[in-house]
Structure 1
Amino acid sequence: MKKTIKEQKAALIILLSNIFIPFLGIGLIVPVMPSFMNIMHLSGKTMGYLIAAFAVTQLLLSPLAGRWVDRYGRKKMIIIGLFLFGVSELIFGLGTHVSVLYLSRMLGGISAAFIMPGVTGYIADITSIQERSKAMGYMSAAISTGYIIGPGLGGFIAEYGVRMPFYFAAAIAFLAVITSIFILKEPLTKEQLTEISANTKHTSLISDLKRSLNPLYLIAFIIVFVLAFGLSAYETIFSLFSDHKFGFTPKEIAAIITISSIFGAVVQIFMFGKMIDKLGEKKLIQLCLIIGAILAVASTVISSFLAVLVVTCFIFLAFDLLRPALTTFLSKAAGKEQGFVAGMNSTYTSLGNIVGPAIGGILFDVNINYPYLFAAVIMFIGLGITVMWKERQLAESLVKN
């Protein structure tokens, strides 16, 4: 019998902190990147390549990291991931040559590949089926909160030097490593890890990708890709769209993003579990896809600040609810293979994050409205795919658990 969330409070707080810190670190450096570009004499193309280096490395390592999470344990992979994240931020802060920055971003991608499946698998292991959706909602809220707090805190820290946010991110990551070593306990026994490892011993990246085509997982993984693809295409051009079409100032754009993120995080914390209980994962995912697609189209015809704020709040909310709903479904379907499923979840997310911004940017150059309309089309395609999603498959997976 698994303990309740209240009984697992200490472990859950540490886990949520561990997933919060990398996303806080990502947000911390946002305000200083223009200044950093000038200091290092970096072009926009180089900055794009640095972002791609992170995403590609995470994409390539995620399946392998997922198998290691199942083989060597959740705790070890989380600690290694946090340590690598700290090292990557420290290297970036100290870097004086672009090759060092590429090394930093690649280490960052590896760290993300370890942390995400490690934390997701750990949470799934210590929560019951009934409480898992609530815990996954907390995890998604921790990610969103990191994004919210990061830029503001980074701007404040940057007053003490343009490289200070990187050093601060490294420091809190190393602190999280120490805390996790002493407080977290591996949720699975050696026997359980050995059993899971025996089932995955002969697997490879190619075999893992083939396993992800299992009908039990496939539709959810496609939706994961669609979500990352559509969201990244939407978010990549949001600032450009708001500036070019509406003439919003950076302060107004920051206000819209911050308010929308806070709104999404609050709903996740207090309402996500209840919405899953009432609607179930499939209906909630379909509802979010419908709302997201309709509002993406609406974004091309509205003009006032208030209208943009309201529409953006609900689009971000739809995306914020989609992520934990999909993660919850996959964790329920995974049984003892939490690492594999979480790793492939990260793989399909990375793939969407690589392709989405590239296509969004190309379409923006053709027509300012096309990226939003494209995101809407992608979400409608995702909605059509969910029609093939059989509830029986989820029921069968729950029997295995």
Structure 2
Amino acid sequence: MSVKSNSNVPLYILMVNMFIAMLGIGLIIPVLPQYMLEFGASGSTLGYLVAAFGLTQFIFSPLAGELSDKYGRKIMIVSGLVLFTVSQWIFGIADEIGMLYLSRLLGGIGASLMIPSMMAYVADITNEQNRGKGMGWLGAAMSLGFVIGPGLGGFLAGYGLRVPFYTSAGVAALATIASLLILPETLSKQSQLEARQSKNKRESMFRQLVQSVKAPYFILLILVFSLTFGLANFEAIFGLYVDIKYQYTAQDISILITVGALMGVIIQALVINRLLQRYGEKLLINLCFLLSALCLILMLFSGNFWYVMIITLIFFAVTSILRPAINTMLSKMAGDEQGFVAGMNNAYMSLGNIIGPSLAGILFDVHINLPYTFGALILLFSLFLSLAWERSSQKRKLQSTVQKNRPLGEG
């Protein structure tokens, strides 16, 4: 198969499998707190389990990106789905806390293999003009699976508290089989061979992070981190925040999260490509960072349900634009380093998923408003960072143009 294909069939297959994988994650959300009570686990234990997933995802993401360049996207996607299937099954049969930690550690490795390889896959089958559309569709599939999952998980829990975990493992196994049998490889054998024969020795994860700092797209990776931090900060304590401060019911919270996530799905599936083509990635990134920061601040002022609904809708809408916009810029700047960049993208995203919820919980215990106040400051700092990077890039381009146009005798 050619690297660039006019057929959307591989993208559709990828979307279906991403949807199934995210459905599996969403299934367990409504039963997880009650499930943890069976083990007599505390809130801190739940936090450590979240961190365990993010930790292995962070450690293995750079390696996974390089492996996808050397051995192809398909084998990494299938391997990630296999580990995710095993992870969910272990969580379902667990009878001690240690098994839960093992499950989460394996799940993080699975995500590190799967997600950057899927992003690199989309880059392989799209050109620069349609890449935003491809990234948007993939993001929509992720969001839709996550939206539908909790409702289905709550229904399945009526048949037993562990049923959602077994179902999650089952649908992940189906995604694995579908990918193995149907999904074509996009990276040519020649490209894989060249990557394997490359004399550039793989650096450690920390060295790769240092290497990413020197890359021209480093600021974009920082923006990936801050976006993920802001999202995780918002979602981690949202239910607890509106419950304690505004006395919202579980049904109220479920409606807000579901409607907000559906808004993100619609934007990523139908609108994102038009926005990127009309306004460009830079303008959208700057505007969305500003609006997302304002949303966190506005959350502090009223508990009216419809007010919170509007703020939540806007927040999910702008963050659903931000991720594909940043990913599209990263992909365009990556050149032949799609696998490495996708791996580092996932690594910075993992850091946001580790630090965001942890810090939100700590700040929440200090003062109920602190998580959203600090989150807003991080997002505003990201806006200023993006603007400064843009000005610096324009200045370098101008200097380069002046040097090229300068007569030979000058200087």
TM over 0.5, shorter chain: yes
1:319 aligns with 2:319: yes
Cα shift readout 1:73-128 (whole Å, capped 9, x = no counterpart)? 10000000001100111111111111111111100000000010111011110111
What's 1:178 paired with?
177
What's 1:131 paired with?
130
What's 2:288 paired with?
288
More moved, 248-257 vs 192-201: 192-201
In structure 1, C-alpha distance between the alignment counterparts of 2:79 and 2:35, rounded to whole Å: 28
Q: Is the 8 A contact 1:84 1:108 kept in 2?
A: yes
Compute the displacement of 1:193 (Å): 1.4
1:317/1:394 Cα in 2 relative to 1: closer, same or farther (>3 Å)?
A: farther
Q: How many residues matched?
A: 393
What's 1:279 paired with?
279
Superposition map of 1:217-366 within 5 A: 217-366=217-366
Q: Is the 8 A contact 2:267 2:320 kept in 1?
A: no
1:245/1:200 Cα in 2 relative to 1: closer, same or farther (>3 Å)?
A: farther
In structure 2, C-alpha distance between the alignment counterparts of 1:329 and 1:344, rounded to whole Å: 14
Compute the displacement of 1:392 (Å): 6.3
The one-letter code sitting in structure 2 at the alignment partner of 1:113 is S
Q: Is the 8 A contact 1:216 1:393 kept in 2?
A: no
In structure 2, C-alpha distance between the alignment counterparts of 1:191 and 1:34, rounded to whole Å: 49
Q: Is the 8 A contact 1:196 1:337 kept in 2?
A: no
Please give the root-mean-square deviation of Cα atoms over the aligned residues, in Å: 1.8
1:98/1:394 Cα in 2 relative to 1: closer, same or farther (>3 Å)?
A: farther
In structure 1, C-alpha distance between the alignment counterparts of 2:315 and 2:96, rounded to whole Å: 39
1:46/1:200 Cα in 2 relative to 1: closer, same or farther (>3 Å)?
A: farther
1:121/1:43 Cα in 2 relative to 1: closer, same or farther (>3 Å)?
A: same
TM-score, normalising length: structure 1: 0.94
The one-letter code sitting in structure 2 at the alignment partner of 1:172 is V
1:16 aligns with 2:15: yes
Q: Is the 8 A contact 1:196 1:336 kept in 2?
A: no
Compute the displacement of 1:346 (Å): 0.6
The one-letter code sitting in structure 1 at the alignment partner of 2:236 is T
What's 1:53 paired with?
52
What's 1:398 paired with?
none
SS in 2 for 1:387: helix
What's 2:107 paired with?
108
Compute the displacement of 1:22 (Å): 2.5
In structure 2, C-alpha distance between the alignment counterparts of 1:45 and 1:335, rounded to whole Å: 42
In structure 1, C-alpha distance between the alignment counterparts of 2:197 and 2:309, rounded to whole Å: 51
What's 2:400 paired with?
none
1:393/1:171 Cα in 2 relative to 1: closer, same or farther (>3 Å)?
A: farther
What's 2:79 paired with?
80
Compute the displacement of 1:207 (Å): 3.2
More moved, 339-348 vs 384-393: 384-393
The one-letter code sitting in structure 2 at the alignment partner of 1:308 is V
Q: Is the 8 A contact 1:290 1:380 kept in 2?
A: yes
In structure 1, C-alpha distance between the alignment counterparts of 2:395 and 2:193, rounded to whole Å: 27
The one-letter code sitting in structure 2 at the alignment partner of 1:251 is Q
| Structure 2 segments unaligned to the other structure (5+ residues) | 398-411
Q: Is the 8 A contact 2:21 2:171 kept in 1?
A: no
Cα shift readout 1:356-394 (whole Å, capped 9, x = no counterpart)? 112111221222111111111001100011123345699
More moved, 203-212 vs 166-175: 203-212
TM-score, normalising length: structure 2: 0.92
The one-letter code sitting in structure 2 at the alignment partner of 1:153 is L
Compute the displacement of 1:254 (Å): 0.7
1:88/1:383 Cα in 2 relative to 1: closer, same or farther (>3 Å)?
A: same
In structure 2, C-alpha distance between the alignment counterparts of 1:21 and 1:117, rounded to whole Å: 17
Compute the displacement of 1:2 (Å): 6.5
1:213/1:8 Cα in 2 relative to 1: closer, same or farther (>3 Å)?
A: same
In structure 1, C-alpha distance between the alignment counterparts of 2:37 and 2:312, rounded to whole Å: 31
Compute the displacement of 1:260 (Å): 0.8
Cα shift readout 1:169-222 (whole Å, capped 9, x = no counterpart)? 111111111111121121111111122334474021233212211342101000
Q: Is the 8 A contact 1:67 1:200 kept in 2?
A: no
Moved over 6 A (4+): 392-395
SS in 1 for 2:217: helix
In structure 1, C-alpha distance between the alignment counterparts of 2:333 and 2:192, rounded to whole Å: 18
1:121/1:75 Cα in 2 relative to 1: closer, same or farther (>3 Å)?
A: same
| Structure 1 segments unaligned to the other structure (5+ residues) | 396-401
SS in 1 for 2:187: coil
The one-letter code sitting in structure 2 at the alignment partner of 1:356 is G
The one-letter code sitting in structure 2 at the alignment partner of 1:180 is S
In structure 2, C-alpha distance between the alignment counterparts of 1:372 and 1:44, rounded to whole Å: 20
Compute the displacement of 1:38 (Å): 2.4
Percent identity of paired positions between Structure 1 and Structure 2 = 45
Q: Is the 8 A contact 1:237 1:361 kept in 2?
A: yes
In structure 1, C-alpha distance between the alignment counterparts of 2:359 and 2:44, rounded to whole Å: 15
What's 2:402 paired with?
none
In structure 1, C-alpha distance between the alignment counterparts of 2:94 and 2:219, rounded to whole Å: 42
What's 2:29 paired with?
30
In structure 2, C-alpha distance between the alignment counterparts of 1:345 and 1:377, rounded to whole Å: 22
Q: Is the 8 A contact 1:27 1:149 kept in 2?
A: yes
In structure 2, C-alpha distance between the alignment counterparts of 1:226 and 1:368, rounded to whole Å: 21
What's 1:207 paired with?
207
In structure 2, C-alpha distance between the alignment counterparts of 1:69 and 1:178, rounded to whole Å: 19
Cα shift readout 1:288-336 (whole Å, capped 9, x = no counterpart)? 0010111211111123110100011001111111111111111111122
